[in-house]
Amino acid sequence: MCGIVGYVGQNEAAPILLDGLARLEYRGYDSAGMAVYHDGEIEIVKAKGRLRVLRELTNNGLDLKGTIGIGHTRWATHGEPSVTNSHPHFNKDKSIVVVHNGIIENHQPLRDRLIRKGYRFISDTDTEVVAHMLDNYYNGDPLEAISKVMTRIEGSYALGVLFKDHPGEMYAVRKDSPLIVGVSDEGNFIASDIPAILNHTRNVYFIDNMEIVKLTREAVAFYNIDKEEIEKTMTVIDWDMEAAEKGGYEHFMLKEIYEQPKAVRDTINPRIKDGEIVIDEWHMTEEEVQNLNKIFIVACGSAYHAGISGKYVIEGIARIPVEVDVASEFRYRDPIIDDNSLVIVISQSGETADSLAALREAQRKGVKVLGIVNVVGSSIAREADSVLYTWAGLEIAVATTKAYSTQLAALYLLAIYLGNKRGKLEYAQYKQMVEELQELPDKIQSLLGDKERIQWFASKFAASRDIFYVGRGVDYATCMEGSLKLKEISYIHSEAYAAGELKHGTISLVEDGILVASVLTQPQLYEKTVSNMVEVKARGAYVMALTNIGNYDVEDVANFTIYIPKTNPWFTTSLAIIPLQLFAYYVSLARGLDVDKPRNLAKSVTVE
């Protein structure tokens, strides 16, 4: 989604904006632009395509003079990717300039009203409405105009604004789209995410909904929508640029795949004390745990897939019914939730618009929400009743790997914790599960050693048109994530099917040479899935098997086999997903695609 960077200080702004925007590239974008104030004028430069074009147009920013400016990378929503539609957007006499992340939902009636008042629109964007509305309400007081606009626009927004007659001042606001403020001796910053400014400062303020910030070279001041000054607490970021760099890996995705053992260990170990699971962050009374009669897991994309694995595991271990919903469905389907339910919202970014809306919908119904979130201080983390952080660290590649793995780990922790508290596990069983959980990072590590074989295998299928994934139970959940990984970065059509469902239609898609990846790690379902492999092989499929070490008879059917170390069957997704991530990565690499920034996708989906 769009990225915003703003700077006001003692240095030239444009090179700082370009550097910051480059560090937000992972969010996804299709055009970029900057506005810099100099000598009483605001100058704008915009370009379609990669930031490289903007760099070339401005001689790496050196030709755009001025020490205050706002920059933007645009992920098109309203209006095609073009120079005209890219941000920043001016008001009519170029005295107010705006960058925006989010969607102004009532832009059409506002646009109609502004046109009736004589305003002329030059772009198709919802954002231009904001520039003209600011113009309409502006009487010399930026705070006044901004707060008036905020009360009239609906939807989600993070805005950066400059006013020509207030030189040296930058304004920013947010509602449901991320925005942070950074402060340093060299100047002050706004940004959509921390990496954009981490080269300059670690001192950050998280802006809350409906708050306004005024930044000058020397100071930042925060206001509520009534223009009353408010106090905020500064956070010191404790990770550094190394986390935002590739560290010798060709791509962030590969780096992040390799960081999984550490990420999973960091998520599990602090929650195990003397062999017992302790989840201090979860504010549930003993009585609430005992009375829990249903869990709803709500998320999007890979986080949703983690939720599907979680459903099998929680139902299997703790014997509590679990419903898993895509957040964009949950938020509108008026779910039936009673007081003894729990809603778990899973999100890497903590800013996904649909997941955030689902969280609010659950709270509106009076139910407690537990967030499983990676980004500290993000909206979902702040609004949930309790937060279980997944300590995956900064994840840059659009295709999630380590965050997904930590989400699984968090769900396993919850399942075993609940199973024990509710008396569904023998003590010995409980202890053994805790031990097996702690062994997962080393087992993930061992799978990473098989990467050359997987790379060779991926190169054989890099030209595929379709690839199918089949499995049963937990393995079906693994297939869903494996398939998503492949399609998002390789652009190969792929589907995941419950293996038992093949005969009900899907098998007609199987033709000579098509790759069917079969995941079969569940002992009680093993023979059933083998039968399904035989069925597709008989129709010409090339069959890959992903199974537990020891299941060597699978080679009687499979053309290619990958073995995973033995673990408790509930936890096999954590292991089986590793070869599938590597497979997707190497297919994308073989096809010469942009692995970390696949087309049309954004890392953090902050619009509906």
Cβ-count burial of 566 within 10 angstroms (0-12 exposed, 13-18 middle, 19+ buried)? middle
What is the DSSP secondary structure assignment for residue 350, as one 8-state letter?
S
Residue 302 touches ligand AGP, criterion: CB under 6 A: yes
Question: In angstroms, what is the minimal distance from the CB of 194 to ligand AGP?
Answer: 15
Which residue's CB is nearer to ligand AGP, number 85 or number 267? 267
Stretch that binds ligand AGP, among 55-63, 210-218, 287-295, 396-404 (CB under 6 A): 396-404
Question: In angstroms, what is the minimal distance from the CB of 232 to ligand AGP?
Answer: 24
Which residue's CB is nearer to ligand AGP, number 303 or number 388? 303
Q: Which are the contacts of 600, defined by CB distance < 8 A and separation ≥ 6? A: 28
One of 36, 254, 284, 399 touching ligand AGP (CB under 6 A): 399
Question: In angstroms, what is the minimal distance from the CB of 358 to ligand AGP?
Answer: 11
Stretch that binds ligand AGP, among 173-181, 234-242, 397-405, 444-452 (CB under 6 A): 397-405
Residue 292 touches ligand AGP, criterion: CB under 6 A: no
Which residue's CB is nearer to ligand AGP, number 515 or number 595? 595
Residue 300 touches ligand AGP, criterion: CB under 6 A: yes
One of 123, 192, 347, 483 touching ligand AGP (CB under 6 A): 347
Nearest residue relative to ligand AGP (C-beta) = 301
Stretch that binds ligand AGP, among 38-46, 111-119, 299-307, 493-501 (CB under 6 A): 299-307
**368 catalytic, yes or no?**
no
Tokens 């070279």, residue located: 217
Maximum Cα–Cα distance for the chain, whole Å?
79
Residue 580 touches ligand AGP, criterion: CB under 6 A: no
Q: Which are the contacts of 113, defined by CB distance < 8 A and separation ≥ 6? A: none
CA–CA distance, 390 with 225 (Å, rounded to integer): 33
CA–CA distance, 545 with 216 (Å, rounded to integer): 60
Which residue's CB is nearer to ligand AGP, number 406 or number 548? 406
Binding mask 512-551 for ligand AGP (x = CB under 6 A): ----------------------------------------
Q: How many residues line the site for ligand AGP (CB under 6 A)?
A: 15
Check: CB of residue 304 under 8 Å from CB of residue 326: yes
Which residue's CB is nearer to ligand AGP, number 260 or number 604? 604
Q: Are strands 322-326 and 294-299 parallel, antiparallel or unpaired?
A: parallel
Residues 348-367 that bind ligand AGP (CB under 6 A): 348-349, 352, 355
Question: In angstroms, what is the minimal distance from the CB of 1 to ligand AGP?
Answer: 10
Residue 303 touches ligand AGP, criterion: CB under 6 A: yes
Looking at 2, 46, 443, 597, which residue is catalytic?
A: 2
Alpha helices in 27-157 (DSSP H): 51-57, 107-116, 127-137, 142-152
Question: In angstroms, what is the minimal distance from the CB of 231 to ligand AGP?
Answer: 30
One of 295, 381, 411, 605 touching ligand AGP (CB under 6 A): 605
**2 catalytic, yes or no?**
yes
One of 9, 66, 178, 301 touching ligand AGP (CB under 6 A): 301
Which strands sit side by side in the sheet containing 203-206, from one edge to the other? Answer: 41-48, 31-38, 68-74, 3-9, 187-191, 180-184, 203-206, 235-236
Instruction: Please list the residues that pair with 517 across neighbouring strands.
Output: 469, 544
C-alpha dihedral, 223 to 21 to 262 to 370, nearest 10°: 40
Stretch that binds ligand AGP, among 1-9, 345-353, 445-453, 456-464 (CB under 6 A): 345-353
Nearest CA to 314 out of 390, 220, 378, 410 is that of 410
From residue 549, give the alpha-carbon distance in Å to each of 448, 524, 542, 563: 15, 15, 21, 5
CA–CA distance, 214 with 343 (Å, rounded to integer): 37
Nearest CA to 595 out of 330, 250, 333, 274 is that of 250
Question: In angstroms, what is the minimal distance from the CB of 211 to ligand AGP?
Answer: 22
Task: Region of 82 please: left (phi>0), alpha (psi -120 to 50) or beta.
Answer: beta
Residue 308 touches ligand AGP, criterion: CB under 6 A: no
Residues 477-496 that bind ligand AGP (CB under 6 A): 488
Instruction: Please list the residues that pair with 297 across neighbouring strands.
Output: 324, 344
Stretch that binds ligand AGP, among 32-40, 189-197, 301-309, 580-588 (CB under 6 A): 301-309
Residues designated catalytic: 2, 603
| Residues at the site binding ligand AGP, with contacts judged by CB under 6 A | 300-303, 347-349, 352, 355, 398-400, 488, 604-605
